[in-house]
Amino acid sequence: MRKKLAVYTPNEIVAELLKRKGVPHEVLNAKNHEREAQIIAEAGHRGSVTIATNIAGRGVDVVLGGKPPESQSKREWAKWQKDHNEVVKLGGLHVIGTERHESRRIDNQLRGRSGRQGDPGSTRFYLALDDDIMRIFGGEQVAKVMTMLKIPEDEPIEHGMVSRSIEQAQIKVEGFNFDARKHVVEYDDVMNKQREIVYGLRKRVLSGEITESEVISNIQSLLSNIVKSYAPRGVVESEVLPIVTALVEIVPFDDDSQKAIGQQFKKSGIADEIITSINQIISDAVTQRKSQVGEEVWKEIIKYAYLSSIDNLWIDHLDAVDDMREGIGLRGYGQRDPLVEYKGEAFPMFERLMAQIDSEFAKRLFRIQIGAQPAPTPIPTTNLTTHHPQPSVPSSDNNDFLTAMQTLQKTSAQNEHKKLGRNDPCWCKSGKKYKHCHYPN
């Protein structure tokens, strides 16, 4: 008679070996997840073999003798009790591990599959000197000793020192993995702080806490810094064009207005006076734009401009930080702490991100166009009088009505099947391209 057997191992290899030997077995892995409950329920039968990559954490105990019957039939319960007693008499569940893991926790979970809730059970691990954990920690020394003592390769080595050395190796690996996870958390803390600031700004925008005065102040501050960067003391004629260009990137003035503003800046020549003029221009532009679209629409424009700027630039920032982090570990070869270097480079990148958000928002704010909703196509109607149908030929009015309805149905069918491209002529016959006319913004 054979004990019930469960094997914990890389399942594909062991399943193939058992198949070659003609040993019936079940494989418990992700491929058989639909039959998982059934496989576990049948794993407790006498003589059954179950191969599992990781049976721990399944939430189901392997019941010796198989799953108890659901019915209250005494005959079925007596049969199950007999099978249960036979498996218990044979020693219960026997677990075989084909390797020791880097973590003692996983090995202990495997051992815990047997001998549960007072049932008998046993566990045995089989290792080879070329296993990962033995190869990293002392496998070569053991192989040299075996060669010197001329111990056959197929003879097992059972000694407490082997178990203790493996346990010490597992402790070292666990410590290394813990330090690695701790290091990852320290790197993530940098991005978490940046994420809190960006999401906090986004939340303020969504809740409408960004006031109009704050918007004007941010744009004025942006242009003021540009003027000071070009002319910290005074403005010469060659420096006027870049300042006007920066202003036009935010507020789209026509050519005549640009020339007039440029002439005004040239006459002034003083940075503070130019900044004062720019501040007034921004205030007037905001007031004019608000009066054109209405207060509620203006608030929605501010939200859209801010959110689109934040979302696009934040994604690019995350990609840039990830690229920087991939190579930051090489700084260690230069006797520098990679974490300190990472923090030192991530902060100026975040400062540039916040400045880019303000700049992109300012450039989008006055360029968002509100498209009008296209009017529905009117249905042609005719003045029809109520009359009794005659067996004669239909009148010309009725023919015109039928022809109009057929034409409308044909045109509607064509419109349903034909989708206008952005560069096609607009359907309203205005002569403009679709993207410049009724294309939804």
Name the DSSP class of 290.
H
C-alpha 135/C-alpha 128 separation (Å) is: 9
Sheet holding 93-97, edge to edge: 26-28, 49-52, 5-8, 93-97, 121-125
- The sign of the torsion formed by the CA atoms of 185, 191, 193, 198 equals negative
| Tokens (6 digits) for 169 | 């190796």
Are 338 and 219 found together in one domain? yes
Instruction: Categorize the per-residue pLDDT at 417 as very low, low, confident or very high, splitting at 50, 70 and 90.
Output: very low
pLDDT at 396: 44
Tell me, yes or no, whether 213 and 119 share the same domain.
no
Phi-psi region of 4 (alpha: psi -120 to 50; beta: other; left: phi over 0): beta
What CATH number has the domain bearing residue 264?
A: 1.10.3060.10
Amino acid at 376: P
CATH number of domain containing 31:
3.40.50.300
Buried b (16+ CB within 10 A) or exposed e, 327-352: ebeebeeeeeebbebbeebbeeebee
Query: Looking at the domain assignment, is residue 354 inside a domain?
Result: yes
Length of the chain counted residue by residue: 441
Nearest Cα to 63, choosing from 78, 77, 45, 86?
Answer: 45
Domain membership of residue 44 as a residue range: 10-126
The verdict on residue 391 lying in a domain is: no
User: Domain check: are 265 and 348 in the same one?
Assistant: yes
206 and 111 part of one domain? no
> Is 113 domain-assigned?
yes
Flag whether 135 is in a domain.
no
Is residue 113 classed as helix, strand or coil in its secondary structure? Answer: coil
- β-bridge mates for residue 96, sequence order: 7, 124
Query: Do both 67 and 215 map to the same domain?
Result: no
Residue 335: inside a domain = yes
* Residues 129 and 135: beta-carbon distance below 8 Å: yes
- The answer to whether position 159 is within a domain reads no
Rg (CA), the chain: 39
Query: Do 228 and 345 belong together in one domain?
Result: yes
CA distance 436 to 421: 12
82-91, 215-224, 225-234, 345-354 — which is least confidently predicted?
A: 225-234
d(CA 369, CA 367): 6
Query: What does each C-alpha distance from 1 to 48, 107, 159 come to in angstroms?
Result: 12, 28, 29
pLDDT at 64 over 50: yes
pLDDT of residue 386: 44
- Give the whole-angstrom CA distance, residue 288 versus residue 215: 15
Residues near 436 by Cβ (< 8 Å), separated by ≥ 6?
A: 426
Last residue of a domain, one of 126, 149, 168: 126
Separation between Cα atoms, residue 428 and residue 439, nearest integer Å: 11
Do 205 and 348 reside in the same domain of the chain? Answer: yes
Same domain for 220 and 82: no
Of 126, 150, 171, the residue at which a domain comes to its end is 126
Three-state DSSP at 428 gives coil
Closest CA to 66 of 94, 31, 38, 100: 38
Residues 203 and 323 in one domain: yes
Among the candidates 366, 385, 416, a domain finishes at: 366
Question: Can you tell me the mean pLDDT for 231-250?
Answer: 77
- C-alpha to C-alpha distance for 129 and 140, rounded to whole angstroms: 8
Q: Mean pLDDT highest for which of 110-114, 197-201, 399-403, 411-415?
A: 197-201
Distance of CA 240 to the CA centre of its chain: 46
CB 92 within 8 A of CB 64: yes
Instruction: Calculate mean pLDDT across residues 128-142.
Output: 74
**The predicted structure's pLDDT at residue 389:** 45
Residue 302 is assigned to a structural domain of this protein: yes
For the entire predicted model, the pTM comes to 0.56
64-68, 322-326, 367-371: segment of lowest average pLDDT: 367-371
Distance CA 123, CA 106 (A): 14
What are the tens digits of pLDDT across the range 293-313? 888 898 899 999 999 999 999
- What's the number of domains the chain is made of? 2
Q: Is residue 193 part of a domain?
A: no
